[in-house]
Structure 1
């Protein structure tokens, strides 16, 4: 039955994600990986604020795409699902000796896989999703250590390497591992265990590799992100409200652990997952973004902890069920809340999968093909207007940025730092990219409250002159579509625009 649940969940998620536009963040990373495989230089020719590991991972399905002849989406989504399920299988094997509850390896694998795939839904393959999968074996061995269950050295080393790679995907998760080590010290465990040494060595090796291979990451990408990415921060009150279910879930996990901490060996896993969830939520607040996938690791850990606790109770005599009836109802209610929320996130994707041609991205793609456009750009903070549109049509993207987030960041920072426009002249960079690329088709998003065209016209006369050659040809979903209407086409149109962002700008602010 549990295996059928996993297969049904996997089938539904893959059907919806394969039948609808690829998640914009994933599409952009695949595009970046493809350009990197073609010889472009990360953080020099290609602008990205994420550490390089996620690009390296994305390069695997991108390479398989070229080798297999399938689309990027058809390769990447099953590839990411396979990575997640491999983690679930590893966790099932690691938990088997811990308690009788975990003896049925297939059932444990199916349950963990269902939670990992089902809660992610349309966020399949996001960085936080892969991070949670990488951390899961580490959490299982950590719980074994609390129970003094020995683990083979090779398994500890492998789990440590995976956890180190998880921290490499999102460095702030080093704080989460640090929080777990506080629990370990309180439990009498020594800090120099094989697994922690392996994780630390992996992180150290990764940092050394980045410094040696990609010095531009620290010189260019990190300063850019620190300076401008704050424009996408959500108000603290919004984050607090949207994280209420997660924080209540964490409180419930700790309460349940306390109720049965001396009665079940599974309690150590419940505690481990609960502490990991709390640490993940702290990282979410430090990030300052109110995107669901930032809450995904905590959500997965909470649901797994609740299910482990409930399973532990249900394997005991009926008298225990009655004694813990109220907590069991609490667990059932919490799992229902998280399950319904996951279904609500997936529902629009299911509806869109039944009519994929109605999506905004699909309509833009049809326009690009109809007009025979070779170059294209979108003035929007929404990445999806660029990616997966570019991935699916093969059109050349006429900007060094994946969206207009950096432009919004410059405008935001200028309010309290007048030197921003000199240090980070994003308006000038975007305008010059436009003039150099002279895109055949342009989409302008009017839903965001920013008049991109007016801002760029006022920033660069060359842009104003180039824009005068465009005329509107369509409007839908809050978007206006423009086509280059002049007889004279721009010369020297590059196949791939080079970024060349220098953190030491000239006095004129030129890139």
Structure 2
């Protein structure tokens, strides 16, 4: 046992050192900023807007509060808290394995393998919502795999259910990841029993409780903002055919390695089936989200690797298989960390114009303003990370033939975004405004003309002068700052 947790500690310490220079990405930067705004009095769904459900925002509140208490940068506290979460997940899995009386060697290898997959594999997506959610639901999949083998995981299974429920609250798409393994178990047993386990019931109760909280505490988000997200943001997706090759390749590679690792035991109802089913569920979630962003494939990749990897501890591997498997894992790691289409480096240019500016962007891309505003120690004055809803509405208007009722809804969404931008300009008085020239990083689009089409916005923007354009970005500065 000492050896087991000593090696886990070494893996997690390595992850901590790797993440210190990497962890601050666009999504994390925005969500930390959003929580700071909430602590300063902003209200989610009223004067602060985020397209994901409330838990996706508030899950970072402990890091922000601890940062204010300790003076440590919140992104570093996120690293520590995520590592604590990984430890908790590994302990739950190990306690379930102990209750099932699995051998020490299998428990050791499982702990080490999952520590690497949860802490090292994520790379640049460490600490993002999907990463945190997958850590939370991994014990549920492990417990399902233990039950699949005919063992009892004991009362610790309740914690697996709690984690799975929280994962679904973060993103409902994760219901596919945990749902497919238990549905297969029900089919295999020809019984509803797998759907009524402690962990399954706990997950369902957690989701229902969260729904009640959102209904009671965040009615503005639920009834005002969420419908606009559904209308304008969720339909933004890549072509299905361009997304499908990734799940096919990842699941196909997992099955191929399973055949190589355990050729005698490979069959429909093998011990690896729950892990493989979770990967298929992750692939389905990746396809349904339709964005094609690498981090949305994390569940698909992690459980696809775990399926054959957790068989290795009882097998003697050929060198070629081991090297091939390691190469695939490294490639998956590079894929998950591949950067999104981004922007030119703006830190030095912005700081040369105004030190620690009040910053605002006119764009649909979160990466223009975040984490830039934190890197330059500026102040974000926007009520959202970007004009995402306007972009979705514009795309739908130009890419299809909406009905008159749909057109009215899309016009209302675009007008809503303009009203919020106007409020941000008047209330925030930004020193610097960064204006994008692309729509969804794909089509050339004049965001400045879009804003200036509103007379009130045009009047506010007339106080700013363009000083430079860098690649796809136009930089505007308050004329009063230039005259100082």
Q: Find the counterpart in structure 1 of residue 390 from structure 2.
A: 407
Query: Aligned to 2:381, which of 389, 392, 398?
Result: 398
- Relative distance call for 1:8 and 1:483 in structure 2 (3 A) is farther
Q: Does 1:472 align with 2:466?
A: yes
**Distance in 1 of aligned mates of 2:264 and 2:351:** 59
Secondary structure at the aligned position of 1:443 is classed as strand
Query: Aligned to 2:436, which of 421, 441, 445?
Result: 445
Q: TM-score, normalised by structure 2?
A: 0.85
Q: Offset of 1:170 from its aligned partner? A: 1.2
Q: Find the counterpart in structure 2 of residue 454 from structure 1.
A: 449
Q: Tell me how large the CA RMSD over aligned residues is.
A: 3.3
Q: Find the counterpart in structure 1 of residue 45 from structure 2.
A: 43
**Distance in 2 of aligned mates of 1:132 and 1:360:** 32
Q: Offset of 1:443 from its aligned partner? A: 1.3
- Larger mean Cα displacement after TM superposition, 56-65 or 460-469: 460-469
Q: Unmatched 5+ residue regions in structure 1?
A: 315-320, 350-357, 490-511
Q: Find the counterpart in structure 2 of residue 360 from structure 1.
A: 345
Secondary structure at the aligned position of 2:433 is classed as strand
Q: 1:33–1:62: 8 Å Cα contact kept in structure 2?
A: yes
Q: 2:125–2:295: 8 Å Cα contact kept in structure 1?
A: yes
State the structure with bigger RCO (CA 8 A, min sep 6), 1 or 2.
Answer: 1
Secondary structure at the aligned position of 1:103 is classed as helix
Q: 1:446–1:478: 8 Å Cα contact kept in structure 2?
A: yes
- Larger mean Cα displacement after TM superposition, 51-60 or 35-44: 35-44
Secondary structure at the aligned position of 2:122 is classed as helix
1:85-484 alignment runs, 5 A limit: 85-96=87-98, 102-103=104-105, 105-153=107-155, 155-188=156-189, 190=193, 191-230=195-234, 232-252=236-256, 259-261=263-265, 267-268=270-271, 270-314=272-316, 329=320, 332-343=323-334, 360=345, 362-363=347-348, 366-367=351-352, 371-372=354-355, 374-393=357-376, 395-415=378-398, 416-417=401-402, 418-424=407-413, 425-433=415-423, 435-436=425-426, 437-446=428-437, 448=441, 449-457=444-452, 459-484=453-478
- Relative distance call for 1:364 and 1:56 in structure 2 (3 A) is farther
- Relative distance call for 1:53 and 1:345 in structure 2 (3 A) is closer
Q: 2:437–2:446: 8 Å Cα contact kept in structure 1?
A: yes
**Distance in 2 of aligned mates of 1:117 and 1:156:** 22
Q: 2:136–2:164: 8 Å Cα contact kept in structure 1?
A: yes
- Larger mean Cα displacement after TM superposition, 65-74 or 328-337: 328-337
Q: TM-score, normalised by structure 1?
A: 0.81
- Alignment deviations for residues 415-465 of structure 1 (CA, whole Å, 9 cap, x no partner): 3333244321245225423541442111123354211111211x2122223
